[in-house]
Amino acid sequence: MRSRKSVPSPARFGWLDAVRGIAALTVALHHLSAELFVGTGAAVREWFDPGIFGVMAFFLVSGYIVPASLERRGDVRAFWIGRLFRLYPLCVVVFIAAAVLVPQRFSAVDVSVHEHPLLASVANATMLQDLLGLRSGLPVMWTLTYEMVFYYLVTLLFMAGAQRRSGPVAVVVAGAALLLGPWAAAWSLRPEFTVRQLVAGTALVVVVGLLFLLTGRRVAQMTGAALLSGLGLVLMIVDGRSTPWESMLILATMFSGTVIYRAERGQISRSAAWAYCGFVIVAGTAAGLLYDDKQAQIRTWTASPIAWVSAFLAGWALFGVAMLLRHRRVSAALTWLGLVSFSVYLLHRPLIAAMSWLMERTGHPHSTAHQLIWVAAFLLALLLLSALTYHLVELPGQRLARRLLARRSGPPAESGPVVPQTPKEYEAAARRGRHRLDAKRPQPPAAAPSGSQEP
């Protein structure tokens, strides 16, 4: 029988909120430095890329909590309904507001949205736009492309009963990044296909794949997961805007977060987790230093190999330190910042664009004191707007997803690892079955960990 101590309480996930909040705020300040403290920001980026630091920490959090969320539900359809209502409402609201409220010349949204609105809208709706030859409508949405590919792969592993193989997957993907880096950058689908063809084909596969995942039928769900995983991997390797080695390392980093979760839960040994994660860290460091040609630097949004590697390692360090301190009390401010971090992440670029527009009318601040005042005003506005969108957009979307799931009748969808793999799991499954028969016994509602809200 599984020990009661092995089940984490929601409070133990406060450290994930802290990581997410710090990461989101760092990315926001990093982008703000392109508007204020320009010289200082450029000097820092030569040695350290705060943007890469923030998103790598985000990816580790996603890897840690997203597979756990799927396995806790044990239901692919429920997982995907939760994901879709978690991501799309806020993305749509911020996307529309940024396009309408801020003049085009301040780049609140990418110029492709204004020049080709239908094409850009369809591409962004797939959330794979960064792999289709189009820039994201909201610049920061490029990370959601990799999140989606990760969700596809996690779903496929779950459906195949191989969800505990995240360690080997992380090693294989990181090894591919290291070995294929010099050659993969030359591969591309674009000479054979136009952007319109890629967008139309991708949209069709995504719609069909998601419909299969939402059927609740195991064969259809397996087919959908395989279709979407294949699509994501092919696009990521041969058509991404980022270099393939960086794309693969992002994926390896997310699976490393899952490895850490498995080790903490006792599902794999800690020595194996150290080996898997150590390999990813070494491979990431080596790839970042080896593949330093100018084209790679342009495509990875960083100033130098040292800046990329130092930020990559710092993202891991932040996650590691937070995990070591996970049993300590997390400040309420950091917990709150983590809760609204998705809003902070999506809103900060449109807010910077609006601030640039305002500074053109009022005069750009030159003194340090005036720039600090603008920074303080920016942070205040960003946090207030994030709190507003969290309560008016994010939470209603999550509540709607729960209402849709509550209306489902009959037993849970037949998905996931239906065959227990150990004697303890057989016993736990049997106990869960007996509990379902006792309908009169009151059951306390299961509180979702705060970390499960990771976008």
Model confidence pLDDT, tens digit, residues 57-105: 999 999 999 999 999 888 999 999 999 999 999 999 999 998 888 877 7
Contact status, residue 99 vs residue 108, Cβ threshold 8 Å? yes
Distance, in Å, from the CA atom of 91 to the CA atom of 198, rounded to the nearest integer, reads 22
Phi then psi dihedrals of residue 60, to 5 deg: -65, -40
What count of other Cβ atoms lies within 10 Å of the Cβ of residue 297?
17
Q: Calculate the alpha carbon distances from 166 to 59, 155, 420 in Å.
A: 14, 12, 18
Both tokens of residue 321? 């330190």
Distance, in Å, from the CA atom of 321 to the CA atom of 324, rounded to the nearest integer, reads 5
SS3 category, 57: helix
Of 20, 54, 53, 45, the C-alpha closest to 312 is: 53
Distance, in Å, from the CA atom of 103 to the CA atom of 92, rounded to the nearest integer, reads 18
Of 113, 143, 101, the C-alpha closest to 355 is: 101
Q: Which residues, 6 or more positions from 156, have their beta carbon under 8 angstroms from its beta carbon? A: 222, 225, 226, 228, 229
What per-residue confidence (pLDDT) applies to 84?
A: 95
Altogether, the residues listed in the chain come to a count of 455
What per-residue confidence (pLDDT) applies to 436?
A: 41
CB-side exposure of 450: number of CA atoms within 13 Å? 23
Both tokens of residue 9? 């309480």
What per-residue confidence (pLDDT) applies to 363?
A: 75
What per-residue confidence (pLDDT) applies to 192?
A: 58
What per-residue confidence (pLDDT) applies to 46?
A: 83
CA triplet 22, 25, 26: central angle to 5 degrees?
80
Q: Which residues, 6 or more positions from 292, have their beta carbon under 8 angstroms from its beta carbon? A: 304, 305
Q: Which residues, 6 or more positions from 306, have their beta carbon under 8 angstroms from its beta carbon? A: 46, 47, 289
Q: What is the sign, positive or negative, of the torsion defined by CA atoms of 349, 355, 359, 360?
A: positive
Of 182, 290, 172, 199, the C-alpha closest to 244 is: 182
Distance, in Å, from the CA atom of 19 to the CA atom of 40, rounded to the nearest integer, reads 25
Classify the phi-psi angles of 193: left when phi > 0, otherwise alpha if psi is within -120 to 50, otherwise beta.
beta
Model confidence pLDDT, tens digit, residues 181-214: 766 655 556 555 688 888 999 999 999 999 999 9
Q: Which residues, 6 or more positions from 325, have their beta carbon under 8 angstroms from its beta carbon? A: 15
Buried b vs exposed e over 104-135: b needs ≥16 C-beta within 10 Å? eebbbbbebbeebeebbebbbbbbbbbbbbbb
Distance, in Å, from the CA atom of 2 to the CA atom of 10, rounded to the nearest integer, reads 18
For the chain, give the mean pLDDT.
83
DSSP letter at 105 equals: G
Q: Following CA atoms 29, 177, 313, 326 in sequence, which dihedral angle do they give, to the nearest 10 degrees?
A: 90
Both tokens of residue 399? 């509540």
Contact status, residue 165 vs residue 258, Cβ threshold 8 Å? no
Distance, in Å, from the CA atom of 67 to the CA atom of 155, rounded to the nearest integer, reads 8
Averaged in consecutive runs of 10 residues, what is the pLDDT profile of the chain (455 residues)?
Answer: 41 83 95 79 83 95 93 91 95 91 78 84 92 84 94 95 92 90 61 80 96 92 96 86 85 96 93 96 91 53 82 96 92 94 96 88 78 91 97 95 77 42 44 42 42 47
Residue reference for tokens 């330190």: 321
What per-residue confidence (pLDDT) applies to 185?
A: 56
Q: What is the pTM of this model?
A: 0.85
Contact status, residue 113 vs residue 135, Cβ threshold 8 Å? no
Q: What is the sign, positive or negative, of the torsion defined by CA atoms of 353, 199, 232, 299?
A: negative
Classify the phi-psi angles of 182: left when phi > 0, otherwise alpha if psi is within -120 to 50, otherwise beta.
alpha
Residue reference for tokens 């204020």: 36
Distance, in Å, from the CA atom of 304 to the CA atom of 146, rounded to the nearest integer, reads 22
